[in-house]
């Protein structure tokens, strides 16, 4: 299921690039979500990218990969039951972004 969601997100980005004729490159950005206190990895965290129709979820290692256009900024909402929601901005091309959620 996560693979299908990631494929769909990548396809949407690819279609946007080809439709506009831009030669922007995409890269994979890995988000790693942990408990801010214990540093425990959190599986099943909901990751919503602004303007995307689908929600992604972290895997058993607390990770999710997003295909993003290098240089563009994306607003990302992170939600997990029992934790405070976080809203962050990431830039396409970042290799790894670590997020600590507070209980």
Domain spans, the chain = 2-101
CA 72/CA 86 separation, integer angstroms: 20
CA 71/CA 25 separation, integer angstroms: 9
CA 94/CA 99 separation, integer angstroms: 13
Per-residue pLDDT of the chain (103 residues; tens, 9 = 90+): 555 544 555 555 555 555 454 557 888 899 999 999 999 999 999 999 987 888 999 999 999 998 888 888 999 999 999 999 999 999 888 889 999 999 9
Q: Does 2-101 carry CATH code 3.40.640.10?
A: no
């Amino acid at each position: 299921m996560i693979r299908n969601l990631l494929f769909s997100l990548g396809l949407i980005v690819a279609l946007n690039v080809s439709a506009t004729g831009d030669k922007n490159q995409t890269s994979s950005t890995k988000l790693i979500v942990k408990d801010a206190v214990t540093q425990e990895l959190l599986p099943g965290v909901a990751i919503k990218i602004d303007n995307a129709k689908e929600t992604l979820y972290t895997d058993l290692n607390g990770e999710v990969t997003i295909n993003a256009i290098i240089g563009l900024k994306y607003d990302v909402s992170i939600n997990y039951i029992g934790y405070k929601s976080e809203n962050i901005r990431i830039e396409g091309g970042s290799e790894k972004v670590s997020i600590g959620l507070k209980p």
